[in-house]
Amino acid sequence: MGIQIAPSILAADFSRLSDEAAAVSNADWLHVDVMDNHFVPNLTLGLPVVESLAKATDLPLDCHLMIEDPDRWAPGYVEAGASSVTFHVEACRAPIRTAREIRAKGARAAMALRPATPIEPYEDLLAELDMILIMTVEPGFGGQKFLDVCLPKIRRTRQLLDKHGLDLWIEIDGGVSADTIERCAEAGADVFVAGSAVYAADDPNAMVEQLRGLAEQSAGR
């Protein structure tokens, strides 16, 4: 398991998503934020756009569902072409069933936690998952400032995974940049969602490599 960088298409130009995906061709994933203006106060894109994007890029799609009723909608995102589907535990009524449905359709299943949601109540669910997504900003909008208060939760999550001998990825989403990625890697994160830091750079691919290098150095890999 190595460090992985997942540029967020939320920070890209929505009028030319195919070109924006090509601009980060050396990334490990393309992170797709799906928002419904109910679970979070923003509205982005849905199943038709994900399906089109999956046809336009060779990068695997990492779909982050910031929506109500993910139990109903999550399997459809696998069918649309997502290689990883993340649901928020705060919105999910049956997280084990939903995770199993995602996996049964051939994608990685991930569970997301808002900054104030602790990991400990979900310890028994970890074996049903492939990844834990720890939000390091309040979900809903890109370009927010990284919340250092989330670093202890990253460490506690890594400790829980080590305790149970589980090979899950820990993904971080929110305020990830060259100034913050090292702290997250040192705390135990593996996968880093970076939106503004990548797409605001003069050379998005070069920024992906810079972020990967910083994280690998900090994690000792």
Q: Is 46 annotated as a binding residue?
A: no
Report the chain's terminal Cα–Cα distance, integer Å.
Answer: 10
Query: Is 218 one of the annotated binding-site residues?
Result: no
Q: Could you list the beta-strand ranges (E) of 36-167.
A: 61-66, 84-88, 108-113, 131-135
CB atoms under 10 Å from CB of 202, counted, come to 6
Residue 31 annotated as part of some ligand binding site: yes
**21 and 56 in contact (C-beta within 8 Å)?**
yes
Active site (annotated) includes residue 190: no
Residue 141, marked binder: yes
DSSP H helices, 105-164, are 151-164
Establish whether 140 is an annotated binding residue.
yes
Is 195 annotated as a binding-site member?
yes
Please identify which of the residues 33, 62, 130, 190 carries the catalytic annotation: 33
**Ligand-binding site membership of 14 (annotated):** no
What is the Cα–Cα distance from 64 to 55, expressed in whole angstroms? 18
* 171, 110 Cβ separation under 8 angstroms: yes
Helix or strand holding residue 99 (H, E): helix 95-104
Q: Cα angle at 155 between 199 and 164, to 5 degrees?
A: 115
For 151, residues 6+ apart whose C-beta sits below 8 A from its C-beta are: 183, 184, 187
Is 81 a known ligand-binding residue? no
Crossing angle of the two packed helices 70-80 and 95-104, in degrees rounded to 10: 10
In the annotation, is 173 catalytic? yes
Residue 18 labelled as part of a binding site: no
Residue 52, marked binder: no
- Residue 173 annotated as lining a ligand binding site: yes
Query: Considering 62, 130, 173, 190, which one is annotated as catalytic?
Result: 173
Please tell me whether 64 is known to bind a ligand. Answer: yes
Active site residues: 33, 173
Q: From the annotation, which residues make up the binding site for substrate?
A: 8, 64, 140-143, 173-175, 195-196
Q: From the annotation, which residues make up the binding site?
A: 8, 31, 33, 64, 140-143, 173-175, 195-196
